[in-house]
Structure 1
Amino acid sequence: MFKLVTVITAVHGPGAQYLPDAYESLLAQDLPDGWEWEWVIQQDGETEEVLPYVPDDPRVKFGQGRAGRAAMARTVGLSRAQGDYVKVLDADDMLTPGSLARDLTALLGNPGVSWATSRVLDYLPDGSTLGFDQDPPEGVIDRGAVLDHWKAHDYRAQVHPATLFMRRDLLMALGGWMALPASEDTGLLLALNAVSRGWFTAETGLLYRKWPGQVTNQAAHVNQGEREARMAVIEARASVLANLEGWRFNMG
């Protein structure tokens, strides 16, 4: 029997059109012997807009639920996840070939590392790409390093939470994604780094699509009052986890 990596995707109606591209990027993955992926797609809402774009593939598990934004959709989708590891893939993004294998190898080959991220390229509407100028060197990310960088760079982490790959047991222990209207994945990234070391792969692992309908392109996403509230609760959670006596993740 294969061991599984669960790829989890939250999707709402406007983003469903990009699911076929995400699926094609999954088909291009080549995992080590004995491993396979499954794709959990959870619709944020119960409309008829998404199902026509869901691939007819036994490895794909589709579900719907009442609307509550991406954090709730992903966390509900975890009920169908069977993998020992979970990879995030937003509906409008695409993995690069080899991305899953690199993430898995990083965790299997580095004791004490329980999550991984990789380099990201913004994928612009004209098909061009744009990189990020603060990528760390490839290798281990020490506990607390993400929070330190995030606070020193106007709440911008040096690694991208849309590339997260992590142990499912640790993800469950942390309660999934934060119940926030945005930045829920950043909150999870900082929580992971508060309790465990991570890994950064310098090879590009994700194409992050930029398009007018994406949630992070809406005016509400940069509302200053809401942004300050999100950042405050994310920082508080990470700080508490980092200093919690007697709670450390057992890698056994």
Structure 2
Amino acid sequence: MRRRIIIVTAVHAPSAPFLPEAYTSLREQELPEGWEWHWLVQEDGTTDRVAPYVPDDPRVTFRQGRPGGPGVARTLALAHADGAYVKVLDADDQLAPGALARDLAALEDHPDIGWATSRVLDLLPDGSTAGFPGDPEHGPVERRTVIDYWAAHDYRAPVHPATLFVRRELLVALGGWMALPASEDTGLLLALDAVARGWFSSEVGLLYRKWEGQATGQSAHVDTGERGVRMAVVEARARALAATGWRFPPDKA
């Protein structure tokens, strides 16, 4: 597998204007010698409104597909992920300095760790940032830590799925993102937590943009009926995976 980190971004027309800022944050990342990144930007649709914002850079590949939500777009992009690791970067977010190098070091230094996350700051419309309490301790996240916390705190995970950095082989084994209209990234996070130890970096890894057009800010996202269904299937999948006894890395014996 190539010594390459694949950055996967799902984008639709409303969030496309933020792509240049996401790109700037990616371009400023520094990686160890011998490592490189490649950015897969996948439009959730086939409009002519996203391509003008995609940077002209040989390290950036833009594709389109029929609309199905961000999980579908990311999973389609996964077919072209030819690197050892996959990093999520939403179109409207920005990586913090050093985020990629820290994620990479966590998994390279710990072969038994399958995924990594990091601290998040909300990026507010006026350009200021805001954190929030309750982050876990820096270091390993033992299996089932995330789902136990999530189930006890009104479906709020202790780590943010928008910061996910994961081994490609593990991501593929779990089938990518869940086929849900929302919470597809939480579904993946809980599935990873069910079968593999994770890592949390206490250093800020992501600026999570708050703006009126973001999907998580829409009324449909918090509709109680649909939310209950989403959470039920997310939890059922994670607990079923845990019950199989399969673990990453698999026992070689």
Partner SS, residue 79 of structure 2: helix
**Inter-partner Cα distance in structure 2 for 1:194 and 1:170:** 12
Residue aligning to 1:156: 156
Superposed counterparts of 1:84-123, under 5 Å: 84-123=84-123
Instruction: Say yes or no: does 1:18 pair with 2:18.
Output: yes
Deviations 1:176-234 (A, max 9, x none): 00000100000000000100000000000000000001101100000000000000000
Residue aligning to 2:224: 224
Deviations 1:140-173 (A, max 9, x none): 0000000000011000001000000000000000
Unaligned runs of 5+ in 2: none
Deviations 1:83-107 (A, max 9, x none): 1100000000000110000000000
2:114–2:248: 8 Å Cα contact kept in structure 1?
no
Partner SS, residue 181 of structure 2: coil
Instruction: Say yes or no: does 1:76 pair with 2:76.
Output: yes
**Distance apart, 1:81 and its partner CA:** 1.1
Tell me the matched-pair count.
251
Residue aligning to 1:191: 191
Unaligned runs of 5+ in 1: none
TM-score under structure 1 normalisation?
0.98
**Distance apart, 1:62 and its partner CA:** 0.6
Residue aligning to 1:175: 175
1:106–1:116: 8 Å Cα contact kept in structure 2?
yes
**Distance apart, 1:2 and its partner CA:** 6.2
TM-score under structure 2 normalisation?
0.97
Aligned partner letter, 2:77: G
**Distance apart, 1:130 and its partner CA:** 1.1
2:2–2:84: 8 Å Cα contact kept in structure 1?
no
Aligned partner letter, 2:228: E
Aligned partner letter, 2:68: G
Deviations 1:17-63 (A, max 9, x none): 00000000011100111100000000000000000000111111110
**Inter-partner Cα distance in structure 2 for 1:79 and 1:2:** 15
2:85–2:166: 8 Å Cα contact kept in structure 1?
yes
Residue aligning to 1:124: 124
The runs of 4+ residues in structure 1 deviating greater than 2 Å are 247-252
1:2–1:34: 8 Å Cα contact kept in structure 2?
no
Partner SS, residue 80 of structure 1: coil
**Distance apart, 1:243 and its partner CA:** 1.0
1:2–1:36: 8 Å Cα contact kept in structure 2?
no
Residue aligning to 2:31: 31
2:125–2:211: 8 Å Cα contact kept in structure 1?
yes
Seq. identity, %: 65
**Inter-partner Cα distance in structure 1 for 2:85 and 2:111:** 15
**Inter-partner Cα distance in structure 1 for 2:132 and 2:170:** 28
Aligned partner letter, 1:236: A
Aligned partner letter, 1:20: P
